[in-house]
Amino acid sequence: MILLTSPAEMHAWIRSLNGRPTIGFVPTMGALHAGHEALLQQSQSENEATVLSIFVNPTQFNVDADFDAYPRTVDRDLRIAEHHGVDAVYMPSTEAMYPNGWRVFVEPGTASDPMEGGGRPGHFRGVATIVTKLFHAVQPHRAYFGKKDYQQLAVVKQMVAELDMDIEIIGVDTIRHDDGLAMSSRNVRLSEQDRTAAPIIQKSLREARHAVASGLTDARDIEKLISETIGTEPRAKIEYVTVTRARDLARTEYIDETSVVCVAVWFGDVRLIDNIELHLPY
């Protein structure tokens, strides 16, 4: 496994490869968990080489304190990468990625507007910019993103399509704890009581899926049902519950065959997001 720490080193490694092996790319900010491992496994099974990036990207944080507090577990991350047979780890410094500060940005499309876009201004502009920079460095054939960050996946897919990037974007199913809580680097920050309460999110989403299977199609009714279930847990504070069209995350009145409901819920000072795809029963 080779460690590369600048765009120039990454380019040189790509040029040194014999032939043009298919490259699968897993971009991360480190603090790897089972969700990231699933991305690495899928990349390994579908490509001749796998590149993992670890870079805590300052331009996607709205609050400096969140950037500073982001967990950094590099030694452990590298052991996980090695274990999964990763060929190259791309781990540039902030100076290597942004030697002139940040003067040029990639403007994300409409998929960035609702939900996270409202509460975290500039977040997806930072994501679109860093993902583009990483894609230019790694030049992957396929890139793997978790469906837990459903909106991020939609923003990246829209960007790749609209900017004619020749990269297949693959969404990988969310990995969950036994009690249904989605794996996330933020879970370690939950208090014991909040950790016990947090699976209410997944419970509410599964209830909604059952309701849809029984014929409920009105998007506002589905949002209400989910909100009421989460509302039974006094430790949970809902930020949004939104039913959208999966393709572009436009808000819809009724669900169709490609709908997804996304939620953001606070437990103390920890903000958790989750989602579930909804399918009509016919």
CB atoms within 10 A of CB 101: 8
* Of 149, 194, 223, 274, the one binding ligand PAF by CB under 6 A: 149
CB of 53 to ligand PAF, least distance (A): 7
Quick check: is 84 catalytic? no
* Of 91, 115, 127, 255, the one binding ligand PAF by CB under 6 A: 127
Angle of helix 74-83 relative to helix 34-46, nearest 10 degrees, comes to 40
160, 169 in Cβ contact below 8 A? yes
Please give the structure tokens belonging to residue 245.
């069209």
Catalytic residue among 36, 123, 136, 279: 36
Which residue stretch of 93-101, 125-133, 136-144, 199-207 sits at the interface with ligand PAF (rule: CB under 6 A)? 125-133
Q: What is the DSSP letter of 92?
A: -
Please give the structure tokens belonging to residue 222.
């589905």
CB of 158 to ligand PAF, least distance (A): 14
Q: Could you give phi then psi for residue 25, rounded to 5 degrees?
A: -125, 130
The smaller minimum CB distance to ligand PAF, of residues 152 and 217, is found at 152
What CA–CA distances, in Å, run from 53 to 36, 50, 243, 261? 11, 10, 32, 29
Angle of helix 200-213 relative to helix 219-231, nearest 10 degrees, comes to 150
CB of 256 to ligand PAF, least distance (A): 27
* Of 40, 91, 97, 130, the one binding ligand PAF by CB under 6 A: 130
Report if residue 233 touches ligand PAF, rule: CB under 6 A.
no
Can you give the binding site for ligand PAF, defined by CB under 6 A? 27-29, 57, 60, 127, 130-131, 149, 152
